[in-house]
Structure 1
Amino acid sequence: AQFGQSALALDDSVISINSFSKYFNMTGWRLGWMVVPDALVDVIERLAQNLFICPSTLAQHAALACFEPESLALYEQRRAEFQRRRDFFIPALHAMGLQVPVMPDGAFYAWADCSEACAKLGLQSSWEFAFDIMQRAHVAITPGRDFGTDQTQRFVRFSTASSMANLQTAVERLQIALR
């Protein structure tokens, strides 16, 4: 699997929207940022002024604390742990015939092609595959149709956000189910 490209590297007219929720575990704070082309800054500011007033003072101080060296060190530890889980899980999927065409680089999900496994198991779609795996291996995965329309019958999404112990158990169960 190859890494995908950042949209920001492809075109200078890209608008990128991010939040503190996933980067810094601030779920529910509803606080984020945008990277926009210079020509759109004034327009976005005017739009934002009409959509909301501002985040709370507490949320703003919490967000600023995210950029302190101690917070960034914790962020880096979490990022390294997610990378360790990905680096364990993706090769295991490949070894079971579940190819991941694009290596996850910014998320804790793997988009895997299950068409080979479906053919082997006599299943027609990623939907059937997800339910079969849940029933037989007790591993929850999400069918591709929940994420768009392009070749979704071939793909499932795995999460690597769980603990390494849970991922190891999932791999063992998948190996048995896909024999």
Structure 2
Amino acid sequence: MKQADIILGIDPGTQLMGYALLKRQGNDCTVLLMDTLKLTSEKDIYQRLEKIHTKVCELIKLYRPNSFAIEAPFFGKNVQSMLKLGRAQGVAIAAAMQAGLSVTEYSPKKVKQSITGNGNADKDQVWKMLQRILQIDEQPKYYDATDALAVALCHHYQTSRAITTSGKAVKSWDDFIKKNPGRVKS
């Protein structure tokens, strides 16, 4: 039996950072942790960034994830908010990179599409699908935690799908082309 993988999902933010750890064994997923780091008690943005880095490092040390998935910032009209969010995301990514984890970034639309089938789903719709898929009841206080869980589950879906032909799994389009040269037309 294949050893379990652990995915660390992050919903970055400078006021609240959602984080979740998802254990996957084959196609089965179990929620190990889903929570939020509250940063509003720190007035200084650099103190907040340090807390984000410290928390991500602690999670990596404690749970030893195999992969790291993070939600990409959405493009809004407020440039200052985008800058702050980008910093929070960068600090979390740096912590993952220092630990040697592969980092994958997903747009909010991609995450919603992956979980609900609708890229424009609201946070409550995403949460309800997470409840059904992962069989969890207790809703966290903030949607940031459920967003992080959605990112982790999205990563599971994106990395566990294989293109198959004649019952043989292939890992990429390059692999498919090598195994099926007669099916490619120029």
Same fold, TM exceeding 0.5?
no
Question: Which one has a larger percent helix, Structure 1 or Structure 2?
Answer: 1
Greater C-alpha radius of gyration: 1
Relative to the length of structure 1, the TM-score reads: 0.25
* Higher RCO (C-alpha under 8 Å, 6+ residues apart): 2
Question: Which one has a larger percent strand, Structure 1 or Structure 2?
Answer: 2
